[in-house]
Amino acid sequence: MSEPILIVGGGLGGLTAALALAQRGWPVRVLEGAPEFGAIGYGIQFGPNVFHVLDRIGVTEAVLEKADAPPAVLMIDALTGKEVTRVSTGSSFRARFKYPYIIVHRIDLHNVLLEACRRADAVLLAAVGGPKWDTTDAQAPRPEQGLLGLRKGLGLYANLRPVRVHDTLAQFSTLREEVIVGTDFKGLATDLQR
């Protein structure tokens, strides 16, 4: 397991994948197209089932420190504004599901994952953008164009893609086997740069 796995995209999915792979002993490189790692967006809601993943990657406690657990989840009719139903998330909910229903700001969750990746010896983070790339010229080259060009050339539109398919990981790929097995990623990347 000496060759690193490359993850393109340092968002919630990319950082979670990096932590999970690192815990299994894989060296991981996370490439972010932005000048620095960061998150955008608003709050995010999680039911108790998310804690199975958070436990496995070792961030449950840190996420709970940043999250709020509302006393209930409400469904409100969009037209009338009236309450349609209410699900209590108190002690009986917790007893049944073990974990709470939480709300957390996306940036807080991203920062928890990012800090965990920074502490993991097997994870190397790299933001490929930077101030020298900041321009309003739509024709100017940007570092993420190489990453996006590779995705486009392969017809792929997700964050996690192998640079070299390891036999032990091929069965877990979301890609069709005929797309990834035997693909010359290095040659394809060179062709896309031309």
Per-residue pLDDT of the chain (194 residues; tens, 9 = 90+): 567 888 878 889 999 999 999 988 888 888 776 666 666 778 899 999 999 999 999 999 999 999 999 999 999 999 999 999 999 999 999 999 999 999 999 999 999 999 999 999 888 877 665 555 556 666 666 555 555 555 566 555 544 444 555 555 555 555 555 555 555 554 444 443 34
User: Domain limits of the chain?
Assistant: 5-193
**What CA–CA distance (Å, rounded) separates 84 from 90?**
19
User: Tell me, what's the pLDDT at 11?
Assistant: 86
> Which pair of tokens denotes residue 9?
């995209």
- Single pTM value for the model: 0.66
**What CA–CA distance (Å, rounded) separates 39 from 71?**
27
**Closest to 154 measured CA to CA, from 126, 176, 130, 133:** 176
CATH topology of domain 5-193: FAD/NAD(P)-binding domain (3.50.50)
